[in-house]
Amino acid sequence: MSTTTTTEAAPKSLFGCVRMGYLLAESNRLDEWATFAAQGLGLHVDVPRRDVVACRIDAHQRRLIVREGPAEDVIAIGWQLSDAAALQLAIARLSARGIRVQEGNTAEAALRGVDRFWFFAGPKKLRTEIFTAPVISNLPLEMKASGFVTDAAGMGHVAVTTRHPEAMQAFWKEIFDARLSDEIEDKIDGLDLDFAFLRFNERHHSFATASTRGIRLNPLRTQIHHMNLQCASLDDLTQAYLRCRVLGYPIANAIGQHPNDRELSFYVQTPSGFEIELGWNPLVVDEQTWCPTTYRGISLWGHRPENLSLRVRLGRFRRCLISLMQPEFTIRGDQS
């Protein structure tokens, strides 16, 4: 395995050098995805070939990609590193822990809209990918939204359920020098839950974990609970909310505000089952003054759940029981 040769000095820390770059999902509902992304969320949608739906929200050629396949789930998350030196440090840290890192091929890179990328099996065996150079598009964006906030903070964030939150958080702290922003305790759908929010840069969090207290269960079929995109304006948020309602997309949580990052947001279910959170105006962390806090309650107000039917509750209960019999892949120290 080789990376681009660089004369740049290796950073001592990767904090501030990492941001979410893209998310790759797999689905057999590509027509539904194209309509959902364009008409519901308001993203720019391209269909470069019949088996791919590719979405843009800024100058990056690809941000959300859905390829044809049976998973109905997220199959990879790409993290952009600031330069070759940061990339080499990340790969060195992974290799030192016995984690096999491989380079993706040219066709895979083209699908993701990057020059080159490397991948490995991350926690929960979710394929984790790292890269430095996205393909930039000069074509105008054709979106219902006026824009999305990306830049140094990246594309947004992801939240995952896990039965081993300590190991998962330790992994991101050791590899990307993630910092704990805060924690939340709440009771949702009869389960006592603990949430932890990790930041990789100035964004309040790029990665969040949710876990049950006591007996560790996983009520979700999908690898992630949700992906977040940050709208450029309040009007973008409210108009997307109204469009999703009119079009009949399942609203998982109505508009509300979180107590920790103060983001105003709503959650909508994708055609593949995981959720997308559209948000607006979260606070930006000041590293000089920030102090982690534990909050009671996932929302200050709103975020009323709208999809907790008896069928959904029974499905989650069944998956909780199944999760007890299926070990969750963790990365603890040397994996060789």
pLDDT in tens, 95-143: 999 999 999 999 999 999 999 999 999 999 999 999 999 999 999 999 9
pLDDT in tens, 156-189: 999 999 999 999 999 999 999 999 999 999 998 7
Per-residue pLDDT, averaged over 28-53, amounts to: 98
pLDDT of residue 3: 55
Work out the pLDDT band at 8, boundaries 50, 70, 90: low
pLDDT in tens, 257-272: 999 999 999 999 999 9
Please tell me the distance from the alpha carbon of residue 322 to that of residue 217, in angstroms, as a whole number.
9
Going by their DSSP bridges, the two strands 264-269 and 275-280 should be labelled as antiparallel
pLDDT of residue 26: 98
Please tell me the distance from the alpha carbon of residue 275 to that of residue 36, in angstroms, as a whole number.
12
Q: Do residues 128 and 79 make contact, with C-beta atoms less than 8 angstroms apart? A: yes
pLDDT of residue 218: 94
pLDDT of residue 335: 46
Work out the pLDDT band at 243, boundaries 50, 70, 90: very high
pLDDT of residue 313: 80
Structure-token pair, residue 315: 């499905």
User: Within the chain, what is the greatest distance between any pair of CA atoms?
Assistant: 59
pLDDT in tens, 303-312: 999 977 778 8
pLDDT in tens, 51-104: 999 999 999 999 999 999 999 999 999 999 999 999 999 999 999 999 999 999
Cα Rg of the chain (Å, integer): 19
